[in-house]
């Protein structure tokens, strides 16, 4: 029988990461910590200062950390602390953690050399911080495309943003953020090639709505398997796999690249 | 039956200047659905064989000169489907010939000066003119317009996204084409080719939706170009700011079988999405959805369409009403403003795209030096 890990979560992480629901859906792997005991897993919110909070949790004995929706921040010290303590740090990102993106990544990268245009739109409620939305959007995009060249903010304001970039082959990339209460929040991703392309619709992690990934070519269109698992539960399940195997996830290294990209946005 | 009642029930006569693929694949099939009110009586093309062959399909007269068509007393309505550079002079000539209505394929002029000349002649002669921007006549769009309430006042984001295969694919679904312009293989390393492709994209493709964009853009003369980029082999990525509104235009023409033609207008609490059917084919109207909500989890939508006919047929229905005097003509100022808007975007984006192209070429050269 595998180990059951005990969990504690900050109220903010509970709110933004639906921790109780995710943990309850993995009852053999995780359970709430008893009052007065130290939990083996700590869930924290990714608000500014999250790397400091994560280091504190590792110093307090946590062997696993879940960070919900982290904002760009220097992760070097946290990476050192995690490696020194062999603590697994996983990031629960709003859209980038959706399990459907693994298949999408293969579909996108197999045609990226023939890319003609990438047009992607993230929608969030009116009043959302556009910079935070851009981070969440870009995280999901680079998860499937890999690094993009020449990223540049063309405008950013209360109604959204437009960011331009390029694929390695020079094809134009456009990321748009739209703030509105009249459209479902999520990411719409459309990569066009010379004879088709890949479209991805990434839903909110509020429920186990699947991402829809469609690869279109001359022979027709393939809907990749729909995975009815929320980004939150996927993250927790991935943490369990690392803990059981004794491996360290690469989330922080990937997030460092994202942070660098955001910092260099001109 | 008296001669008076025969005259009253006789369909209106249509004459078409230019018998290329647009006439063959779009207008003749649309008119075939409207035989009770419209009848093709004269086809003109500079290629006599094409004129004769296309006219024979509908039992019409044929000629190789504009004057012959305009002088044909059986022609009540003139459709101008010739190359862009002839549009303005032919519209003016049709008005002066005393026809009852004129349809001019988009764009109806290539400069503001030409547009002003047309406007003056239309006003002087009283001949109504409409421009073949078919989406503005699509029943799905018109149903949305009747129901969108105060959305135009509150919109902050407008998007037009067009993905289409080459025209030939849908032309062949619509008819049996007898002539096609010869295609070439453009050299996209030449910045002038890029500029021409982008101008062609705006004046030939984006122009379908620019009148729709302008409905949501009151400060249309106040344009700022945020980006303008060419998409290979044919398309564009254009971002504009007009006052406090953002306009995003996307187009990609490739070998895909899967067309997408979407127009969106979005405010904080309402959004319009219109999914248009592809060009050429008679695939019914657009489907429009207006969504209103005070939160992304409880927005509600109302859908309009699909209706049985598309904007091409809508144009002809409107022309018949204009020719019969049962409907008020559109204002010439509106048509001029639509054209001015398109030309302003084309002029500004061509230079921006050329700069982007040169910058990218230089960075590539630097990377490989």
Q: What is the pLDDT of residues B118-165, one digit of tens each?
A: 888 888 999 999 998 899 999 999 999 999 999 999 999 999 999 998
Determine the distance in angstroms separating the CA of A199 from the nearest CA of chain B, rounded to an integer: 12
Residues in chain A within 8 Å Cβ distance of B300: none
> For A175-204, what is the mean pLDDT?
96
How far, CA to CA in Å, does B97 sit from each of A59, A171, B69, B367?
90, 50, 10, 61
Residues from A in contact with B at Cβ < 8 Å: 116-117, 119, 121, 123-126, 154-155, 159-160, 162, 164, 166, 170-172, 174, 176, 178-185, 192-197, 204, 206, 216, 218, 220-221
Question: Cβ separation of A162 and B239 shorter than 8 Å?
Answer: yes
Cβ pair A93, A69 in contact under 8 A: yes
* B299 contact A CB<8A: yes
> For A132-140, what is the mean pLDDT?
96
Mean pLDDT, chain A, rounded, equals 95
The DSSP string of B56-79 is HHHT-EEES-HHHHHT-TT--EEE
pLDDT over 90 at A179, yes or no:
yes
* B282 contact A CB<8A: no
* B267 contact A CB<8A: yes
Determine the distance in angstroms separating the CA of B245 from the nearest CA of chain A, rounded to an integer: 9
CATH code 3.30.360.10 region(s) in chain B: 137-360
The minimal CB distance from A192 to the residues B254, B267, B292 is found for B254
The minimal CB distance from B296 to the residues A125, A195, A196 is found for A125
> For B204-229, what is the mean pLDDT?
90
Confidence of residue B180 (pLDDT cuts 50, 70, 90): confident
Burial A165-193 (b: 16+ CB within 10 A, else e): bbbeebbbbbbbbbbbbbbbbbbbbbbbb
CATH code 3.40.50.720 region(s) in chain B: 3-131
* Chain B, nearest residue to A214 by Cα: B258
B3-131: what CATH class?
alpha beta
Determine the distance in angstroms separating the CA of A256 from the nearest CA of chain B, rounded to an integer: 25
Q: Is A199 helix (H, G, I), strand (E, B) or coil?
A: strand
Question: Cβ separation of B270 and A182 shorter than 8 Å?
Answer: yes
* A12-43 confidence digits (pLDDT tens): 999 999 999 999 999 999 999 988 889 999 99
Residues in chain A within 8 Å Cβ distance of B259: none
Please give the pLDDT value at position A40.
96
**pLDDT above 70 as % of chain B:** 92
Question: Cβ separation of A180 and B266 shorter than 8 Å?
Answer: yes
Question: Cβ separation of B235 and A117 shorter than 8 Å?
Answer: yes
Confidence of residue B5 (pLDDT cuts 50, 70, 90): very low
Please give the pLDDT value at position B64.
97
The minimal CB distance from B295 to the residues A116, A164, A181 is found for A181
DSSP label of B267: -
The minimal CB distance from A126 to the residues B233, B250, B268 is found for B268
Confidence of residue B236 (pLDDT cuts 50, 70, 90): very high
> In terms of pLDDT, which residue wins out, A231 or B232?
A231
Please give the pLDDT value at position B369.
40
Q: Is B95 helix (H, G, I), strand (E, B) or coil?
A: helix
Question: Cβ separation of A117 and B237 shorter than 8 Å?
Answer: yes
* Chain A, nearest residue to B356 by Cα: A172
Question: What is the C-alpha separation between A21 and B119, in angstroms, rounded?
Answer: 66
pLDDT over 70 at B294, yes or no:
no
Confidence of residue B363 (pLDDT cuts 50, 70, 90): low
Angle (CA) B126 B132 B136, round 5°: 100
ipTM, two decimals, is 0.93
Please give the pLDDT value at position B109.
83
Determine the distance in angstroms separating the CA of A59 from the nearest CA of chain B, rounded to an integer: 39
Size of interface A-B (CB pairs under 8 A): 119
Please state which CATH number belongs to domain B137-360. 3.30.360.10
Question: What is the C-alpha separation between B332 and B80, in angstroms, rounded?
Answer: 17
**pLDDT above 70 as % of chain A:** 99
Residues in chain A within 8 Å Cβ distance of B240: none
A interface mutation test: which of B224, B252, B253 has the most A CBs within 10 A?
B252
pLDDT over 90 at B50, yes or no:
yes
* Chain B, nearest residue to A149 by Cα: B360
Cβ pair B176, B30 in contact under 8 A: no
Output A74-79 pairs: Cβ under 8 A, ≥24 positions apart. A74/A256, A74/A259, A75/A51, A75/A252, A75/A255, A75/A256, A75/A259, A76/A256, A77/A51, A78/A51, A78/A54, A78/A252, A79/A252, A79/A253, A79/A256
The minimal CB distance from A195 to the residues B248, B255, B295 is found for B255
How far, CA to CA in Å, does A189 sit from each of A210, A214, B160?
15, 10, 15
- Nearest C-alpha neighbor of A230 from the set A29, A28, A17: A17
Q: Is the dihedral of CA B175, B134, B332, B249 positive or negative?
A: negative
Kindly state the helix (H) or strand (E) to which residue A31 belongs, with its residue range: strand A30-32
Determine the distance in angstroms separating the CA of B244 from the nearest CA of chain A, rounded to an integer: 10
Cβ pair B74, B42 in contact under 8 A: yes
How far, CA to CA in Å, does B28 sit from each of A120, B177, B318?
38, 12, 16
* B283 contact A CB<8A: no
Confidence of residue B75 (pLDDT cuts 50, 70, 90): very high
């Amino acid at each position: 029988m595998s180990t059951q890990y005990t969990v504690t979560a900050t109220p903010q992480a509970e709110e933004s990461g639906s921790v109780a629901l995710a943990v309850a859906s993995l009852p053999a792997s995780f359970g709430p910590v008893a009052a007065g005991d130290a939990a083996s897993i700590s869930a924290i919110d990714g608000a500014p200062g999250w790397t400091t909070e994560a280091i504190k949790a590792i110093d307090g004995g946590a062997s696993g950390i879940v960070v919900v929706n982290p904002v760009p921040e220097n992760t070097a010290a946290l990476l050192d602390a995690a490696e020194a303590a062999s603590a697994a740090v996983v990031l629960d990102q709003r859209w980038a953690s959706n399990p459907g993106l693994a298949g999408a990544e293969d579909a996108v990268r197999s045609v990226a050399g023939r890319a003609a245009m990438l047009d992607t739109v993230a929608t969030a409620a009116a009043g959302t911080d556009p910079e935070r939305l851009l981070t969440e959007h870009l995280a999901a995009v680079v998860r499937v495309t890999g690094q993009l060249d020449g990223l540049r903010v063309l405008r950013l304001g209360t109604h959204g943003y437009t960011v331009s970039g390029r694929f390695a082959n020079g094809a134009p990339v456009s990321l748009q953020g739209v703030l509105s209460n009249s459209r479902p929040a999520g990411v719409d991703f459309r990569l066009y090639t010379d004879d088709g392309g890949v479209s991805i619709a990434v839903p909110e992690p509020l429920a186990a709505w699947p991402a829809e990934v469609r690869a279109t070519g001359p022979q027709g269109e393939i809907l990749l398997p729909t995975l009815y698992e929320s980004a939150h539960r996927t993250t927790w399940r991935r943490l369990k796999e690392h803990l059981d195997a004794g491996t360290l996830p690469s989330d922080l290294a990937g997030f460092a690249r994202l942070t660098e990209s955001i910092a260099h946005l001109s | 039956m008296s001669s008076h009642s025969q005259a009253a029930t006789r369909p209106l006569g249509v004459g078409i200047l230019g018998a290329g693929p647009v006439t063959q694949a779009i207008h003749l099939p649309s008119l075939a659905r409207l035989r009770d009110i419209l009848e093709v009586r004269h086809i003109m093309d500079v290629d006599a064989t094409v004129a004769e062959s296309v006219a024979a399909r509908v039992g019409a007269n044929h000629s190789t000169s504009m004057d012959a068509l305009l002088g044909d007393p059986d022609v009540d309505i003139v459709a101008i489907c010739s190359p862009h550079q002839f549009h303005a002079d032919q519209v003016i000539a049709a008005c002066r010939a005393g026809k009852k209505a004129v349809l001019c394929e988009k764009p109806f002029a290539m400069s503001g000066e030409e547009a002003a000349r047309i406007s003056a002649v239309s006003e002087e002669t009283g001949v109504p003119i409409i421009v073949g921007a078919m989406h503005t006549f699509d029943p799905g769009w018109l149903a949305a317009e009747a129901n969108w309430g105060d959305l135009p006042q509150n919109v902050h984001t407008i998007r037009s996204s067009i993905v289409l295969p080459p025209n030939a694919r849908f032309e062949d679904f619509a008819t049996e084409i007898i002539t096609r312009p010869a295609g070439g293989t453009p050299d996209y390393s030449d910045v002038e080719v890029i500029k021409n492709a982008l101008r062609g994209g705006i004046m030939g493709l984006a122009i379908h939706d620019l009148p729709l964009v302008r409905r949501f853009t009151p400060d249309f003369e106040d344009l700022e170009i945020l980006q303008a980029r060419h998409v290979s082999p044919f398309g564009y990525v254009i971002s504009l700011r007009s006052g406090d509104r953002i306009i995003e235009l996307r187009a990609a023409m490739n070998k895909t079988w899967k067309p997408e033609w979407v127009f969106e207008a979005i405010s904080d609490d309402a959004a319009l999405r219109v999914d248009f059917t592809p060009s050429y084919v008679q695939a019914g109207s657009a489907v429009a959805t207006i969504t209103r909500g005070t939160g992304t989890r409880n927005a509600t939508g109302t859908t309009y369409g699909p209706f049985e006919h598309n904007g091409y047929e809508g144009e002809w229905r409107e022309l018949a009403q204009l020719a019969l005097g049962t409907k008020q003509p559109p204002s010439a100022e509106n048509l001029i403003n639509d054209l001015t808007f398109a030309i302003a975007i084309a002029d500004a984006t061509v230079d921006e795209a050329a700069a982007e192209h040169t910058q990218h070429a230089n960075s590539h050269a630097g990377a490989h030096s």
